Amino acid sequence: MTRLPVIQVSRLPTAASVRKVYATHHGRRRAVHTEATPSSTSASPLPLPHNTSLPIPRPEWIPLQRQPYQQPQQQKKQPLSPSQQPTQRHPRGNRAEETILAEDQNRTAETHLFDTYEQVTQLQAWGGFSRSQAKAIMKTLQYRLRLSGSTMSKELLANAQLENETYLIKAALAELKRDVQLLRQSDTSLLQTELTSLLREVETIDQRLNEDLGNMRADVELAMNDYRGEVREEQKTTEHQLREINNRLTVVLGDAATEIESLKWSVIWRGLLGGLGAALSISLIGYVLGSFRARVSSDRNRRRIQETENNLTFADMEIS
């Protein structure tokens, strides 16, 4: 298992510290994964002798000691001993992590996952292999087991680290929950204050609108009353003027009627006088013409008689 530094919690961490720790552990796992992955040249399995066929080992040949999974119990945290104190990170960071990973790999290489001597003896006794072949098979199995173990250690976490990270996450979640609750309370209080201020402003605006509407109604009523009074005064003046004009017209029409009557009687009298004058003038003219005609006819007869008398001879006289 890869040893990771134990983080001592002195106070409740924040969300930023949790993210920082997670990023550090994630980068360390990636570094272990890149360094522990075997390449084709450096981590190749040991060569086996030629013309040898290796049988598939049976499960009972590898006495692995597997323990049943136990649920981790919540234990009270005890003060760490000086040997268990968390290692201080190097200021350069990456180089210190590389040295720690190298030490972890060396320690993992020194440990044995099964009894190598018993495995070699069983291969020699029951498999019919030589000692060198049995050692090669044992080393191959040990390499594969270590490789799978390192892979599992890269992918999984230790119980202490899991508990530590779980505690950190729970603490961060609790602090985040408290922060969210505080922010929610502050936001609700701010919203309530803003709502009350808005309600007050709305009430004041409503009152101002009502006052403005009342003033506008009073002004409009006053203006309408003034306009109505002016219209009534104008109607009265127009009616008075119409009455005066009617009276004048009646007076003028009466005067015109009297003048027309007077002119009528004057014209009638003048016509009568003119007719009488004309009749008298006509009768006078007729009398004068009649007397003139009688005088002219008498003068003509007189001349004719004189002419006849002057033209008589002695014979005419004797006849007569």
Determine the residue type at 158.
A
Nearest to 166 by CA among 305, 61, 268, 72: 72
Instruction: Tell me if 200 is assigned to some domain.
Output: yes
Instruction: Tell me if 43 is assigned to some domain.
Output: no
Q: Work out how many domains the chain is built from and give that number.
A: 1
Instruction: Tell me if 306 is assigned to some domain.
Output: no
**CB 80 within 8 Å of CB 8:** yes
Question: Could you tell me which residues come within 8 angstroms of residue 165 by beta carbon, excluding any fewer than 6 positions away?
Answer: 21, 22, 25, 157
Residue ranges making up the domain that contains 239: 117-272
Q: How confident is the model at residue 318, as a pLDDT? A: 56
Q: How confident is the model at residue 125, as a pLDDT? A: 86
Alpha helices by DSSP H, listed for the chain, are 15-36, 94-110, 116-122, 131-155, 159-310, 314-319
- Cβ-based burial of 223 (10 A; exposed 0-12, middle 13-18, buried ≥19): exposed
**CB 76 within 8 Å of CB 63:** no
Alpha-carbon distance of 250 to 234, in angstroms, equals: 24
Instruction: Tell me if 140 is assigned to some domain.
Output: yes
Instruction: Tell me if 263 is assigned to some domain.
Output: yes
Instruction: Tell me if 259 is assigned to some domain.
Output: yes
What is the full per-residue pLDDT of the chain (320 aa) written as tens digits? Answer: 444 443 333 344 444 554 554 455 445 444 434 444 443 333 333 333 333 343 434 434 434 344 444 444 444 445 444 444 444 444 434 444 444 444 444 444 446 677 888 888 888 888 788 888 888 888 888 888 888 878 877 777 778 888 888 899 999 999 999 999 999 999 999 999 999 999 999 999 999 999 999 999 999 999 999 999 999 999 999 999 999 999 999 999 988 889 898 888 888 988 888 888 888 888 888 888 888 888 888 888 888 888 877 776 655 555 55
Nearest to 115 by CA among 72, 60, 165: 60
Nearest to 28 by CA among 63, 51, 3: 3
Instruction: Tell me if 168 is assigned to some domain.
Output: yes
User: pTM, whole model, 2 decimals?
Assistant: 0.29
DSSP-assigned letter for residue 312: -
DSSP-assigned letter for residue 115: -
Q: How confident is the model at residue 310, as a pLDDT? A: 75
Instruction: Tell me if 292 is assigned to some domain.
Output: no
